[in-house]
Amino acid sequence: MELRRLTKEVAKDLKVLVRVDFNVPLKDGKVMDDTRIRAHLDTINLLRTFGCRIALISHLGRPKGEFHEDLSMKVIQKAVENVYEVPVRLVDTCTGEKVRSAMDKLSNDEILLLENVRFYSEEKKNDLQFAKEMASPFDIFVMDAFSASHRAHSSTNAIQKILPSYAGLLIDKEVRMLSNVSSDPEQPFVLILGGAKVSDKIGVIEHLMNKASAILIGGGMAYTFLQVTGKAIGRSLYEEDKAEFAGEMMKKADQMGVKIVLPVDTVVAEKLNSTSGQVVNVDSMPIDLMGLDIGPDTVTCFSEYISKARTILWNGPMGVFEEAPFASGTEKIGQAVVEATKGGAVSVVGGGDTAAAVKHFGLSGQVSHVSTGGGASLEFCEGKILPGIEPLLQE
């Protein structure tokens, strides 16, 4: 999948509108984590070397189509200045004369930040007229918000029908890394799945089943699979309406020679915030407890597959990693992925919570790629052509 590249030839000295994702976590009007701002740094710096005049547009929170003081881009202006090390000017709208005149006054050493695009109800309707008004002060559009690319909105999709559009460096890297693992992965390709629900991962299993050599299943979703194989899973997460799917997938995998590997032991406790857990074999789970992490034998078994992989895609934590007593499985699997990466495997982490887990354990820099797109990376791995990416595809 080749995206239209942003080069000096197409961008030199132009007025550029860049769709970024600055939907950062906020608390009491402060930015708690500037990872999402940092993620666009290379794209911004590239445009600066091209002598472009740059305006950035993003959503922030869920303002539901109307102005919301707390979600104004004013709140993140300083954080953007700190990360990009340039003065950031604000304009309190996304369209019209105000933007045009702010762009006319802007120097190459400054950046213009447009107001929260979701203050406008047209945005989520992918309204073409709104996109036209947004586009009007600019020469070209750069799409860099991978994590918003699964949404067909005016600032991700419709605008690309109006302005010549190019892929920013972040979205380009995301697409390259995710295509790498999901289209033609070097074998053995090991898919690690976890997280809360089977239903969230059905599309990924279906799409990648015929490409993986093994699918390791942990997290809450593992218990539905275990139940189907006849285990008593106590009060663990169970999706009755997905049991049939789980059974079919295991049958299909068997016919195709793909290994679906389930936990052999698990950490059980009374509730999600219990202060300790107990390791049991999956054949002897107490009826009144729930499985909240994979056990040490499962870690050993999964790590064995991971160590032999040439390509790894990991989506979904192995347990309730947010709670210390149930964090070990996710941390150890993270370490196994890091080891495999050191040995030359390509490893990609997708999913918002998995990315948070990898960061929490200080492993982010040691895997090949941590996707910035939660929902977007999942939909990409389901084989969907995303509406913010489709218009960037090379003819």
- Give residues in contact with ligand ADP (CB under 6 A): 194-196, 200, 219-220, 237, 291-292, 315-317, 319-320, 322, 351-354, 374
Nearest distance in Å: CB 357, ligand ADP: 7
User: Please, which residue, 137 or 220, has the CB nearer to ligand ADP?
Assistant: 220
Nearest distance in Å: CB 292, ligand ADP: 5
Cα 338-277-361 angle, rounded to 5 deg: 25
Given 98, 234, 375, 384, which residue is catalytic?
Answer: 375
User: Cα-atom radius of gyration of the chain, to the nearest Å?
Assistant: 23
Chosen from Mg ion, ligand ADP, none, partner binding at 292 (C-beta under 5 to 8 Å by type): ligand ADP
The interface mask with Mg ion, positions 340-379, x = CB under 5 A, is ------------xx--------------------------
SS (H, E, C) 274-327: CCCCEEEEHHHCCCCCEEEEECHHHHHHHHHHHHHCCEEEEECCCCCCCCHHHC
Name the residue with the smallest CB distance to Mg ion.
353
Q: Is 36 a catalytic residue?
A: yes
User: Please, which residue, 54 or 204, has the CB nearer to ligand ADP?
Assistant: 204
Whole-angstrom distance, CA of residue 98 vs CA of residue 10: 26
Say which amino acid occupies 301: C
Nearest distance in Å: CB 226, ligand ADP: 11
Given 197, 252, 259, 310, which residue is catalytic?
Answer: 197
Chosen from Mg ion, ligand ADP, none, partner binding at 320 (C-beta under 5 to 8 Å by type): ligand ADP
What tokens appear for 176 in the block?
């390259």
Q: Is 375 a catalytic residue?
A: yes
In the block, residue with structure tokens 């999402």: 36
Chosen from ligand ADP, Mg ion, none, partner binding at 185 (C-beta under 5 to 8 Å by type): none
The edge-to-edge listing of strands for the beta sheet with 15-19 is 88-90, 111-113, 53-57, 15-19, 140-143, 165-167
Given 234, 235, 352, 359, which residue is catalytic?
Answer: 352
Chosen from Mg ion, ligand ADP, none, partner binding at 63 (C-beta under 5 to 8 Å by type): none
User: Please, which residue, 112 or 348, has the CB nearer to Mg ion?
Assistant: 348
Chosen from Mg ion, ligand ADP, none, partner binding at 227 (C-beta under 5 to 8 Å by type): none
Cα 24-25-28 angle, rounded to 5 deg: 125
Given 36, 53, 118, 242, which residue is catalytic?
Answer: 36
Nearest distance in Å: CB 259, ligand ADP: 21
User: 107: helix, coil or strand?
Assistant: coil
User: Please, which residue, 63 or 195, has the CB nearer to ligand ADP?
Assistant: 195
User: 348: helix, coil or strand?
Assistant: strand
52 burial class (0-12, 13-18, 19+ CB within 10 angstroms)? Answer: buried
- Largest Cα separation within the chain, whole Å, is 71
The gap from C-alpha 278 to its chain's centroid, in whole angstroms, comes to: 32
Say which amino acid occupies 131: A
User: Please, which residue, 195 or 388, has the CB nearer to ligand ADP?
Assistant: 195
User: Please, which residue, 135 or 356, has the CB nearer to Mg ion?
Assistant: 356
Chosen from ligand ADP, Mg ion, none, partner binding at 387 (C-beta under 5 to 8 Å by type): none
For 344: left if phi > 0, alpha if psi spans -120 to 50, otherwise beta; the answer is left
Rule CB under 5 A: which residues touch Mg ion? 352-353
Residues with catalytic annotation? 36, 197, 352, 375
